[in-house]
């Protein structure tokens, strides 16, 4: 004898009733519901697959935005502080004719004229306005074309601040040059021009290779100036410290301005 199918009622109900609507269909697409098709478990815990544990992005899209590598906050605070400390010590030693200045002059007199003169001359010329300014101008033009007008403005202001800072210091300290009787050699203006131009251009272009190249060009400029006898080593070191603070201020200003809401 064939067995009749059971109705949709309960086991204790002997009456045959028509099928009732299933309430589970309304919850079929609820996150975590059985049969919903979502990767989440019914108990609310994420599954063991990486896809199930993925969080939504900033705009609600699937997947998170990969973290952008940044310098640690402690480094960003320590860098300008270290530059300020070194600049203060070097300036004090040069102005007061301290032992550090005497050591600096002895080192310079031993290494001046070393290396091929053509090469060292080319390296020293990297800090001239005719070479460094076109590089920064090209980076500023690229930033303007990319719509980053404020960053381009701060890069131009940083370069304009170089003579405003270096010229008064040269007149105030009045250090004599290595191979001349003339004074006004501390800090080095060519070094400051090279550092602000090349590093400022690297900050505007924002490619991975630009900052290492900018640092290399800045260091090469200082080496050429020292080997050619245009500046003492402390002249170059003082400019590096001074422009390190200047670039830090302008870069932080650009970041704070980019976070400011425009609406």
pLDDT in tens, 34-60: 444 555 555 555 555 555 555 544 444
Which residue ranges make up each domain of the chain?
76-259
Helix (H) or strand (E) holding 18, with range, is: none
The residue behind tokens 């970041």 is 255
Confirm if 188 and 241 have CB atoms less than 8 A apart.
no
Tell which residue, 226, 189, 208, 200, has the closest CA to residue 113.
Answer: 226
Query: Band of the pLDDT at 161, cuts 50, 70, 90?
Result: very high
Looking at residue 255, its pLDDT comes to 58
Q: Enumerate the β-bridge partners of residue 56.
A: 62
Cα 38 from Cα 32, distance rounded (Å): 7
Cα 227 from Cα 224, distance rounded (Å): 5
Binning the chain into helix, strand and coil, the percentages to the nearest 5 are 60, 0, 40
pLDDT in tens, 110-149: 999 999 999 999 999 999 999 999 999 999 999 999 999 9
pLDDT in tens, 208-227: 999 999 999 999 999 999 99
């Amino acid at each position: 004898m064939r067995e009749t199918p059971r109705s949709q009622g309960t086991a204790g109900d002997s009456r045959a009733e028509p099928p009732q609507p299933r309430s589970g269909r309304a919850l079929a697409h609820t996150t975590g519901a059985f049969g919903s098709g979502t990767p989440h478990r019914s108990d609310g815990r994420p599954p063991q697959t990486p896809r199930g544990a993925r969080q939504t992005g900033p705009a609600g899209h699937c997947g998170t935005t990969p973290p952008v590598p940044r310098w640690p906050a402690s480094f960003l605070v320590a860098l300008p502080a270290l530059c300020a400390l070194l600049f203060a010590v070097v300036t004090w030693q040069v102005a007061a004719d301290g032992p550090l200045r005497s050591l600096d002059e002895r080192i310079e007199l031993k290494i001046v004229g070393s290396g091929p003169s053509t090469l060292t001359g080319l390296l020293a010329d990297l800090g001239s306005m005719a070479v460094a300014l076109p590089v920064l101008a090209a980076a500023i033009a690229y930033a303007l074309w990319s719509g980053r007008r404020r960053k381009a403005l701060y890069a131009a202001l940083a370069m304009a601040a170089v003579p405003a800072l270096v010229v008064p210091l040269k007149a105030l300290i009045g250090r004599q040059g290595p191979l001349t009787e003339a004074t006004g050699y501390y800090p080095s203006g060519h070094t400051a021009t090279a550092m602000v131009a090349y590093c400022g251009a690297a900050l505007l272009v924002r490619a991975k290779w630009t900052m290492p190249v900018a640092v290399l060009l800045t260091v090469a400029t200082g080496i050429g100036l020292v080997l050619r006898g245009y500046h003492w080593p402390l002249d170059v070191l003082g400019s590096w410290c001074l422009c390190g603070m200047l670039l830090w201020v302008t870069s932080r200003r650009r970041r704070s301005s980019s976070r400011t809401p425009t609406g």
